[in-house]
Amino acid sequence: MRFTGLPLAIVLTVGCGAGNHDPKTTFGTSFTPPALMELSPHTVPVNSVPFTMTVMGANFRADAVVFWNDIPQSTRFISSTQLQVVLTDADLMQFGLAHVFVRTGGQNSNTINFDVTAQ
């Protein structure tokens, strides 16, 4: 399954407020929101020892933060397509689905479920 973000375009026009503008002063930028594609591993048993989870996707920036059940985690930026986060025993105390998403550039990615299985 592949997820893609929708592009966001911002165009600013600089003028003096008189209703006229010089086309040379119009500029813009765009930012495509982050997209999650895969978690590795994507499942572990409850009460597992701490481990490093790799988050793969697209459009990650250096300010990217991985969220685990809406709680921000200390995140290591590897590249625009890869992040790493260390999950602790506190994150793995209960079995069930954990919801993972990334926030970067003020935008949230899609959410992927991580399965903490019963032993």
Tens digit of pLDDT for each residue in 47-88? 998 999 999 999 999 999 999 999 999 999 999 999 999 999
Residue 6's region, left for phi above 0, alpha for psi from -120 to 50, else beta, is beta
Q: Residue 97: is its pLDDT beyond 50?
A: yes
- What pLDDT is attached to residue 1? 42
The CATH homologous superfamily of the domain defined by 35-117: Immunoglobulins (2.60.40.10)
Q: Residue 100: is its pLDDT beyond 90?
A: yes
| Domain assignments of the chain as residue spans, ordered by start | 35-117
- What pLDDT is attached to residue 119? 83
Q: Residue 30: is its pLDDT beyond 90?
A: no
Instruction: Provide the token pair at 24.
Output: 């040379």
Report pTM.
Answer: 0.75
